[in-house]
Chains A and B, each alone.
Chain A
Amino acid sequence: MPSILVYAELSEGKVATTSLELMTKARDLGDVYAVALGAGAKTAATTLGKHGAKVVHVSEDSAFDDYVAEPATDALASLYEKEKPDLILFAFTPDSREVAGRLAARLGAGLISNAGDVVAKDGGFVAKVPYFGGAKVASMKANGKPAIVLIRPKSFEASAKGGTAEVKQLDVKVGDGSKRAHIAERVVEASEKVKLEEARVVISGGRGMGGPQNFPLLEELANALGGAVGASRAVVDAGWVPYSMQVGQTGKSVRPGVYIAVGISGAMQHTVGMKTSKIIIAINKDAEAPIMKMADLGVVGDALKIVPALTAAVKAKKNG
């Protein structure tokens, strides 16, 4: 049996859903170990056990919460030396990819990122990675020892299947040399009413919205439907809306019941983060936009007229 190490990302002391998704896959591939670092690690171990981890290595050293990437890299490198896992899995999220990158460089192993799946083959691992604008999928054999693979959020469903993990205190001393990029303060800006990743309906806007002044139209529709508002990279880069709203390869991955893409052409950067939505509705002026080819319903028309009318119709139906 190959041994798989899963890097569990903690968010406010709880295991991130993306990490539990990795557990679903990992337990099919071999013996699963997990590592949880920072405040809440011990509680996290219980959750990770329920999702299939046999052993969870924990440390609640505050350095893991207070410094960017380096303490976690130290812990993983030292754990690798002891346990020699065949495969290390990370979620393809901003925080995890920073740790994965440093670790891969330190171990001289290289890595495969942005994978949608990983399978065992000939004693090694093959990752499935979106390719060529997402139109194709490449099978990439991992050559590194260990194989390090970063998997896109929402590639698997998190589900509990397991028992009680053995909790092992991680014997790692974070040296002062790794306490450098200090997180001095955390500022919360906007409290999302409905979390983008968890919303049943996501309405995302792109350049076709014409400007930031029109995004409130999307918010009104989202409020009427109890959904959340997302955006394409193009409008985030243009400064119309904050990065926290970006849906796509390096933004958030979503898998709602209904995804409404408004004024979004459908570049791979965006679609890779939403194409597993159950129903996709696209509203766009351009009938030839790539998004139209993947939408269950494509509406060719003026978003600025259709969206307010739709909001009114939704409200009428709810009240009627």
Chain B
Amino acid sequence: MKIVVTVKQVPDPNSNLTLEADSTISREKEVVLDPGDECGIEEGLQLKEAHGGEVILVSMGPDRAKDAIRKGLSMGADRGVLISDASLAGADALLTARVLAAAIKQEEPDLVICATESYDGSTGMVPPMLAELLGFPQLTFAKKVEVDGSTVKVHRQTADGYQIVEASTPALITVTAAIAEPRYASLKGIMAARSKEIKQVAASELGVEKGQPAETIEGVVEAEARKAGEVIEDDGSAVEKIVQVLAAAKVL
């Protein structure tokens, strides 16, 4: 089974954000492999271990996104593809999906695994776009994945439980963090990753036209901040104070 896992390099969730002069979020900070993608890679590796095949990591990003791919390779993925092109800086979700789709089509995978959403954008728009552009069904919010021949079955998380959703491959699935605990790269894995292939592809080679972005930022203003209220140290009287607030709000 040929499995593609999409990966993204994101600002370290534990670092603070800064803003560039053109109001875009600075990406020059500490960057890491998106923690959600680590779960996707783990699931891909487990499926490969059970069914055989290959796990290919595909990413769009600047040159240094190779580090994120390399981390996935050290976990055990077989090879990587990085679409890196200055013209893609600031790409919106649709352009990102178009670029990824063009690169993934060349691999002719049986399964594409994406995280439900990225850690930095958290909008989850690329996976359904990608599924549409690839012409694949989408099995989303998976907390469990089973593959049997050409049938893929997922437990799709819902508000009050889950659905069992099944489709034939090729298919795209999105996985939640509940899917699998990502493994740590072993020293052997890290060594092996050094000689694994990361193919670099230019956007022009994929024949993707940039087009107009979905939105133009007209301005950025301060959000209406809630007024900070009272902050107290708990010296034993905090409970009484909270009870007063609850009573004033008429919920008690």
Contacts and interface: CB of A to CB of B under 8 A. Distances in A.
A73 B132 contact: yes
A314 B252 CA distance: 7
Contacts of A182: 165-167
Interface in B12-37: 17, 19, 23, 25, 35
A37 B224 CA distance: 37
Interface in B193-252: 211-226, 228-234, 238-243, 245-247, 249-252
Nearest to A279: B249
A138 interface: yes
21 contacts: A69-B140, A112-B215, A113-B123, A139-B219, A141-B217, A185-B164, A201-B251, A238-B177, A242-B157, A250-B116, A250-B122, A258-B245, A283-B238, A294-B228, A295-B231, A297-B241, A298-B230, A299-B232, A300-B233, A302-B234, A314-B246
Interface of A: 68-70, 73, 94, 97-102, 104-106, 108-114, 126-127, 130-144, 148, 180-192, 200-201, 225-227, 236-239, 242-244, 249-250, 252, 257-258, 260, 269, 275, 278-281, 283, 287, 292-302, 305-306, 309-310, 313-314, 317-318
A105 B229 contact: no
B238 A301 contact: yes
Given A225-B251, A310-B243, A141 B132 contact: no
A298 B132 contact: no
Interface in B122-174: 122-133, 137-141, 143, 153, 156-168, 171
A296 B245 CA distance: 9
A282 to B, nearest CB: 8
A306 B252 contact: no
B218 A130 contact: no
Given A300-B232, A309-B239, A132 B25 contact: yes
Contact of B251 (A113, A136, A258): A258
Nearest to B223: A137
A313 B239 contact: yes
A68 B137 contact: yes
A250 B36 CA distance: 14
Given A183-B165, A187-B162, A201-B251, A102 B226 contact: no
A102 B126 CA distance: 9
Contacts of A278: 249
B42 interface: no
A119 to B, nearest CB: 11
Given A130-B223, A138-B217, A190-B161, A98 B128 contact: yes
B97 interface: yes
Given A113-B123, A132-B17, 17 more contacts: A97-B128, A104-B129, A105-B97, A105-B132, A111-B125, A181-B139, A181-B166, A184-B165, A239-B178, A243-B176, A244-B161, A292-B228, A296-B245, A298-B230, A298-B231, A306-B238, A318-B252
B222 to A, nearest CB: 6
Contacts of A294: 225-226, 228
A278 B226 CA distance: 10
B216 A143 contact: yes
Given A137-B223, A301-B238, A243 B178 contact: yes
Contacts of B92: 110
A134 B230 CA distance: 22
Contact of A131 (B128, B159, B220, B242): B220
Chain B interface helix/strand/loop/mixed: mixed
Nearest to A115: B215
The 10 closest A-B pairs by CB, nearest first: A110-B214, A301-B234, A101-B128, A180-B137, A296-B229, A189-B161, A298-B231, A140-B215, A237-B177, A105-B132
B93 interface: yes
Interface of B: 17, 19, 23, 25, 35, 92-94, 97, 116-117, 122-133, 137-141, 143, 153, 156-168, 171, 176-178, 211-226, 228-234, 238-243, 245-247, 249-252
A186 B157 CA distance: 10
A313 B97 contact: no
Contacts of B243: 310, 313-314, 317
A184 B249 contact: no
Q: Which of A139, A142, A239 has the most CB of B within 10 A?
A: A139
Given A188-B160, A225-B246, A181 B232 contact: no
A298 B229 contact: yes
A144 B213 CA distance: 8
Contacts of B167: 180-182
A143 B234 contact: no
Given A140-B217, A140-B218, A185-B164, A102 B232 contact: no
Contacts of B23: 138
Q: Which of A100, A106, A280, A293 has the most CB of B within 10 A?
A: A293
